């Protein structure tokens, strides 16, 4: 039985699109039951509709700072669609600790840095200002602290001396689109377990290759 997934968006939904495409495969262990946006003008809603996925808008603006009130309305939609897992994909709304706890171990987010480095806003700018040679993306479980939950999967890219925040973002986005579906596959198929703050993968093995940057010529 495929796990029922809700994707929460606030904008263009590029990671949403990658998840929907992956879930269309017959052997994928999850189905995208609904895409929910807290903004009626989110471009991702049209993409989801064209892909045949049901969409719902739960406007957050009328609730102002009353996060719990918004979450009651959101939870009603999740219940209606019998949702088992949540994927945040550019969802620009903070949750209360109560909501996060309710979905503990069942809600994923993706962040464009190699957490725990560069959480929060402008991760690409943070990476460039720090002068790192490798950056990437992280899929993690959501906890009350921002970008701080147990790490499920990461992917890396090299950072060039000529990179801008925009060019680095473009390359990392390609990594995001690869690892988010893979991470959901692992979770939906029961291949991960949480041990405190650590996420472990059943029968996992390290990749046999290295990513080294910069590369020194022969």
Instruction: Give the pLDDT confidence of 4-20 residue by residue, as tens digits.
Output: 999 999 999 999 999 99
CA–CA distances in Å: residue 168 to residues 136, 161, 183 = 9, 11, 22
The pLDDT, as a whole number, for residue 217 is 64
Q: Which of 111, 124, 140, 177 is catalytic?
A: 111
Kindly state the average pLDDT of the residues 209-216: 75
In whole angstroms, give the CA distance from residue 61 to residue 42.
13
Is 111 a residue of the active site?
yes
The pLDDT, as a whole number, for residue 202 is 84
Q: Going from the N-terminus, what domains does the chain have, and what CATH number goes with each? A: 1-103 (3.40.50.170), 109-203 (3.40.50.170)
Q: Which long-range contacts (CB under 8 A, 24 or more apart) does 69-77 make?
A: 70/38, 71/95, 71/96, 71/98, 71/99, 74/36, 74/99, 75/99, 75/102, 77/6, 77/34, 77/36
Q: How confident is the model at residue 216 (pLDDT cuts 50, 70, 90)?
A: confident
DSSP letter assigned to residue 60: S
Instruction: Indicate the pTM of the whole model.
Output: 0.94
Token look-up 């495929």 returns 2
């Amino acid at each position: 039985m495929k796990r029922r997934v809700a994707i929460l968006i606030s904008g263009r939904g590029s990671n949403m699109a990658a998840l929907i495409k992956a879930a269309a495969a017959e052997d994928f262990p999850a189905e995208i039951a609904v895409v929910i946006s807290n903004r009626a003008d989110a471009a991702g809603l049209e993409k989801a509709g064209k892909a045949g996925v049901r969409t719902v808008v739960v406007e957050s603006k009328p609730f102002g700072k009353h996060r719990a009130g918004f979450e009651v309305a959101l939870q009603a939609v999740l219940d209606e669609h019998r949702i088992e897992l949540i994927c945040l994909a550019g969802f620009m709304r903070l949750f209360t600790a109560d909501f996060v706890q309710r979905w503990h171990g069942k809600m994923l987010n993706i962040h464009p840095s190699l957490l725990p480095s560069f959480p929060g806003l402008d991760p690409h700018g943070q990476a460039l200002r720090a002068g790192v040679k490798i950056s990437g993306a992280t899929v993690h479980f959501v906890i009350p602290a921002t970008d701080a939950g147990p790490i499920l999967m990461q992917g890396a890219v090299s950072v060039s001396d000529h990179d801008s925040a925009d060019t680095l973002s473009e390359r990392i986005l390609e990594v995001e689109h690869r690892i988010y579906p893979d991470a959901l596959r692992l979770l939906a198929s029961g291949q991960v377990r949480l041990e405190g703050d650590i996420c472990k993968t059943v029968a996992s093995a390290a990749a046999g290759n290295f990513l080294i940057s910069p590369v020194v010529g022969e």
